[in-house]
Amino acid sequence: MTTTKRNKIIYWIATIWLALGMISTAIVQLMQMKEEVDNVTRLGYPPYILTIIGVWKILGVVVILIPKFPLVKEWAYAGFFFAMTGALISHFVLGNSFGVYYGALLLLILTVVSWYFRPADRKTVSVNQ
């Protein structure tokens, strides 16, 4: 198997799992399920942040999955990275157990793996001057 083919397989596996994870958590956030509202308020955030994050996650998934728009993809990956590191830090500061924040850690890892292995046509082009 060529390196390019292996990288493409890794990219798509990570990206599909990332998309499924972000969509499923976005749905829970948009539904404002009681457990999710309790979690976010325990972390010190207002419940309306769930709607904002849920909408941005869905938009980010759409951008990452569609072809073209490499610069917008970079922003989506950055948003996922910031959201998941923010969740991890919030849980860590409160002293929550690993079981509470392993989902955010998994989504963070999938974000980094998907970003790192993305094909050339999904990357921004750097021009050296």
- In the structure encoding, which two tokens stand for residue 54, read together? 């849920």
Predicted model pTM: 0.90
Distance between CA atoms of residues 106 and 72, nearest Å:
23
Count the neighbouring beta carbons within 10 Å of the beta carbon of residue 76: 23
pLDDT at position 116: 95
- In the structure encoding, which two tokens stand for residue 19, read together? 């998309």
Low-confidence ranges of the chain (pLDDT < 50): none
Distance between CA atoms of residues 72 and 80, nearest Å:
12
pLDDT at position 42: 87
